[in-house]
Amino acid sequence: MFGFGKKKRPVDLEAPAADAAAAPAAEHPLPAARATEPPTTERTRRAPQPPAALSPPAVPSPLAAPQPPAAPGAGSAPPLDASAGQTPGRLAQAIAERAAGQLAEQRRGLLAGLRNGLARTREVLNADIAELVTGRKEIDEDLLEELEMLLVAADVGVPATTRIIEDLAYRVKLREVSDPKGLLEAVRAQLAEILHRADGSVRQPAPGRPQALLMVGVNGVGKTTTIGKLTKQLQAEGNKVMLAAGDTFRAGAVEQLQAWGERNDVPVIAQQPGADPASVIYDALQAASARGFDVLIADTAGRLHTKTNLMEELKKIVRVMKKIDPDAPHEVMLVVDATTGQNALHQAVQFNEAVPLTGITLTKLDGTAKGGILFAIAERLEVPFRFVGVGEQIEDLRHFEADLFLDALMAP
Ligand SMILES: Nc1nc2c(ncn2[C@@H]2O[C@H](COP(=O)(O)OP(=O)(O)OP(=O)(O)O)[C@@H](O)[C@H]2O)c(=O)[nH]1
Ligand SMILES: [Mg+2]
């Protein structure tokens, strides 16, 4: 399930090209995290198709429930029917190799897309750091100082930067890091460590319950757009999605969400403008539960993190949701706009105090050199990033995966 959503598309080895074209797998970068449902009994009875007919294995969203480790080869090949005259071992291997090749290709595609989205942040974090070390033979204090300034300029934040530089200085002293190239690798390892500390999967609902996601954030960060993009991804994974128009405040907000609902062909539960958002979301959660939906995504009005009464309203929404399902909301997702730099960190801290966050989406990475803010937030809050927004189009939402993100940001 999408960390939201329940139904993973099984690895469909019989689906031909049409399915491959529609497959959401291109949005799902993580072969390592791939988890697949066991093949159905029906599927085990059918003879497998030749590898050429394979669609890419579906990779669940990063919010998916952790799956038990699959047996070697499981998930990449169906059980084989020896009676069909195949040589099970060789065919299974061919299928697995092809699937692996497709995943590698998807990863390359995702990497290229993310690199584009991160182009401006790369200019600071990657190009400038690379330039800094070019031609240097040794690491001296000046080099470390300049590196420190670059990290701060990329909005990695003072606490994370100070820690990184202190650690590097110590390791240089111990001669664990002795040349500029090693320094670059060490910086990357430090950044990876920050991101991995903030790992964590999304809470799953009890059986038969919808998974409820509450989107929160200040005005204009991209909450509603992210809901539209996410709905598409969840549907592609086989989830029945419902939306709740919890922004009853801003003129046109309900219509904006309804437009996304129509575009994705999913129901939107709404009341009249000015209605109590807690009441709208309560009704929606009740409807989603009664009608067997897998995921409910609730929009909320943008609010300043400094306005106590508006933060109280969010707490009320959470309380009311718990009346229907004590586990809801399963995810409180903060949406922050990368272009706002350090302000995004303040927002994250204050929202987290009001309604403990379980996930973060960082939007508008495509238009900023301040993508380093992601590290500042991860360092401070240790709340996992779920997605990054790299454009205004429906497909411009990427699952956040730390190593892919670092590759997009730092690999030459
Ligand atoms: N470039 C870019 N623009 C984005 C991204 N995500 C959202 N936007 C744009 O940001 C603007 C605001 O998006 P909304 O989804 O309305 O933001 P919101 O947080 O719901 O805003 P309020 O409801 O007013 O609080 C729109 O023009 C979106 O197209 C992104 O990842 N990249
Ligand atoms: Mg909105």
Atom of ligand 1 nearest to the CA of 367: 1
Cβ-based neighbours of 250, under 8 Å, separated by 6 or more: 219, 301, 302
pLDDT band at 12 (very low <50, low <70, confident <90, very high): very low
Segment 363-394, tens digit of pLDDT: 998 888 788 899 999 999 989 999 999 999 99
pLDDT at 301 (0 to 100): 95
The pTM assigned to this predicted structure is 0.79
Least confident of 24-28, 85-89, 165-169, 390-394: 24-28
Average pLDDT over every residue of 219-243: 96
Ligand 1, CB within 6 Å, residue ranges: 217, 219-225, 247, 250, 253, 302, 363-364, 366-367, 389-392, 396
pLDDT averaged over every residue in the chain = 80
C-alpha separations of 291 from 39, 64, 241, 270, 287 in Å: 27, 22, 11, 16, 6
pLDDT higher than threshold 70 for residue 42 = no
pLDDT at 4 (0 to 100): 55
Q: Which of 365, 336, 377 is nearest to 118 (CA)?
A: 365
Segment 68-106, tens digit of pLDDT: 444 443 333 333 344 444 556 777 787 788 888 787 877
pLDDT at 269 (0 to 100): 98
Segment 320-339, tens digit of pLDDT: 999 999 999 999 999 999 99
Q: Write out the two tokens for 261.
A: 């609902």
- Helices within 84-140 (DSSP H only): 88-117, 119-122, 129-133
Task: Tell me the angle at which helices 223-236 and 253-264 cross, rounded to the nearest 10 degrees.
Answer: 20
Determine contact, residues 377/221, Cβ cutoff 8 Å: no
Q: Write out the two tokens for 47.
A: 């003879």
Q: Which of 278, 129, 279, 290 is nearest to 208 (CA)?
A: 290
Ligand 1 pocket test: which of 215, 224, 225, 400 has the largest number of ligand atoms within 8 Å of its C-beta?
225
pLDDT at 5 (0 to 100): 57
Q: Which of 26, 39, 15 is nearest to 102 (CA)?
A: 26
Q: Which of 35-39, 69-73, 76-80, 281-285: highest mean pLDDT?
A: 281-285
- Cα of 383 from ligand 1 centre, angstroms: 22
Determine contact, residues 89/363, Cβ cutoff 8 Å: no
100 vs 21, more confident: 100
- Cα of 138 from ligand 1 centre, angstroms: 45
Question: Which residues, listed in sequence order, are joined to residue 77 by a DSSP beta bridge?
Answer: 74
What ligand is nearest to the CA atom of residue 226? 1
pLDDT at 18 (0 to 100): 36
- Cα of 265 from ligand 1 centre, angstroms: 20
Q: Are strands 211-216 and 331-337 parallel, antiparallel or unpaired?
A: parallel
CA–CA dist 214, 243 (Å, integer): 10
Cβ-based neighbours of 72, under 8 Å, separated by 6 or more: none
- Cα of 399 from ligand 2 centre, angstroms: 21
- Cα of 311 from ligand 1 centre, angstroms: 21
Least confident of 121-125, 156-160, 351-355: 121-125
Atom of ligand 1 nearest to the CA of 228: 15
Q: Which of 223, 298, 395 is nearest to 4 (CA)?
A: 298
Q: What is the 3-state secondary structure (H, E, C) of 26-75?
A: HHCCCCCCCCCCCCCHHHHHCCCCCHHHCCCCCCCCCCCCCCCCCCCCEC
